[in-house]
Amino acid sequence: MDNDRIDQIIDKHQGEASSLIQVLLEIQRENSWLPKEILERVSEKLQVSLAQIQHTATFYKAFRLVPKGRHEIHICNGTSCHVRGAQGVIDTVQDLIGIRPGQTDLDSKFTLETCNCLGRCALGPVIEIEGKTHSKMSPAEAKDVIKKYE
Ligand code: FES
């Protein structure tokens, strides 16, 4: 994202420091994450210290300060999936790829997320990776699925 586009978004909010969260959300919607250079530009334009912006961006879970991995894994831990053993699937996937939900690995290969429902409650535990849904996952089956993306 170039500075002109960042400035346009900031100008839309009249350059008000109080619009920081809205500005960051809009930038992230377009850029998918918030690199340091963008935060520096926002800091300069909104006259808000970089430390304050980083504090805000780390406080709210919605903000992403590292790029997403090439493969996004969503594991449902909603009630139906949970009672069918989703936690065992989550634990296995975490051990396999070495990150916890909400994190991206150092090679930017995987981003792991948990969610509350993927709309297939009768078929849990459910994993979605690369937009493809895998149902009735056991920990061992989940491992096999993820390994195909390594
Ligand atoms: S609770 Fe897991 S798909 Fe609905």
Cα 78 to ligand 1 centroid, rounded to whole Å: 5
Q: Summarize pLDDT for 76-131 with one digit per residue, the tens.
A: 999 999 999 999 999 999 999 999 998 888 888 999 999 999 999 999 999 999 88
Kindly state the average pLDDT of the residues 137-149. Answer: 96
Cα 84 to ligand 1 centroid, rounded to whole Å: 10
> Going by CATH, does the domain composed of 3-59 fall within 1.10.10?
yes
Q: Domain coordinates of the chain in residue numbers?
A: 3-59, 71-147
List Cβ neighbours of 11 (8 Å cut-off, separation of 6 or more). Answer: none
Q: Summarize pLDDT for 27-66 with one digit per residue, the tens.
A: 999 998 999 999 999 999 999 999 999 999 988 878 988 8
- Residue 70 pLDDT greater than 80, yes or no: yes
Per-residue model confidence (pLDDT) at position 16: 86
Per-residue model confidence (pLDDT) at position 123: 97
Residues with CB under 6 A from ligand 1: 76, 78-81, 117-121, 124, 126
In contact, 105 and 66? CB cutoff 8 Å: no
CATH number assigned to the domain covering 71-147: 3.40.30.10
List Cβ neighbours of 36 (8 Å cut-off, separation of 6 or more). Answer: none
By three-state DSSP, how is residue 10 classified?
helix
Q: Which atom of ligand 1 is nearest to the CA of 120?
A: 3
Same fold across 3-59 and 71-147: no
Q: Which atom of ligand 1 is nearest to the CA of 80?
A: 1
Task: Give the β-pairing of 127-129 and 132-134.
Answer: antiparallel
Per-residue pLDDT band for 6 (boundaries 50, 70, 90) equals very high
Ligand 1: residue of 74, 75, 76, 84 to mutate (most ligand atoms within 8 A of CB) is 76
Ligand 1: residue of 84, 115, 121, 123 to mutate (most ligand atoms within 8 A of CB) is 121
